[in-house]
């Protein structure tokens, strides 16, 4: 049996309960991920308090990493024993869960599950700010609000590499 943190209603942290659950076998396009690291973010508080609506009962958490222990039909590129992570997929506060294979990122050997679970959403948010919203180039001056926070500190470091000409992402 797996365990998960479930909420039946919105409210204080008292609404969060640890419950036993039978995860089951993965269906088509799914894997069962035994999660040993999760990311904790402010959006989890927003869900718990009702500011970010979710269907109840709900399992909090949107990013985690772990080891695949079962693969459903039609899944390619992921196999039992592979390490993987995901972000912005509901239900991370659990020891195991079924996840769509298309939402998983296979982890290289040199990135731990803990780093992947805490960095994936923040790193992709920083990447979006630098490359998807507006492509900065060498010589640009940018203002990063909240530069001491998780996303801001990543974005600031990456932006320095681009604006001082150390890294040119347009040539890769």
Can you give the pLDDT of all 172 residues of the chain as single tens digits? 999 999 999 999 999 999 999 999 999 999 999 999 999 888 899 999 999 999 999 999 999 999 999 999 999 999 999 999 999 899 999 999 999 999 999 999 999 999 999 888 888 888 888 888 888 877 888 888 888 888 888 888 888 887 776 666 555 4
- Alpha carbon distance 51, 84 (integer Å): 29
Q: Map out the domains of the chain with their CATH numbers.
A: 2-113 (3.90.180.10)
- Alpha carbon distance 156, 146 (integer Å): 10
What pTM value is reported for the model? 0.81
**Between helices 113-127 and 150-163, what is the axis angle to 10°?**
60
Q: Is the peptide bond before 57 cis (omega within 30 degrees of 0)?
A: yes
Kindly report the length of the chain. 172
């Amino acid at each position: 049996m797996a365990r998960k943190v479930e909420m039946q209603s919105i409210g204080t942290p008292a609404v969060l309960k640890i419950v036993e659950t039978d995860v089951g076998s993965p269906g088509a396009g799914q894997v069962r991920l035994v999660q040993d690291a999760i990311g904790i973010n402010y959006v989890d508080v927003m869900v718990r308090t009702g500011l970010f609506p979710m269907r109840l009962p709900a399992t909090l958490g949107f990013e985690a990493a772990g080891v695949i222990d079962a693969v459903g039909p039609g899944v390619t590129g992921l196999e039992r024993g592979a390490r993987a992570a995901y972000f912005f997929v509901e239900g991370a506060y659990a020891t195991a869960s079924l996840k769509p294979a298309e939402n998983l990122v296979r982890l290289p050997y040199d990135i731990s599950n803990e780093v992947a679970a805490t960095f994936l959403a923040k790193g992709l948010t920083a990447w979006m700010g630098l490359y998807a919203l507006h492509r900065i180039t060498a010589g640009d001056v940018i203002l990063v609000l909240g530069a001491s926070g998780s996303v801001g500190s990543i974005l600031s470091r990456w932006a320095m590499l681009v604006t001082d000409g150390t890294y040119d992402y347009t040539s890769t």
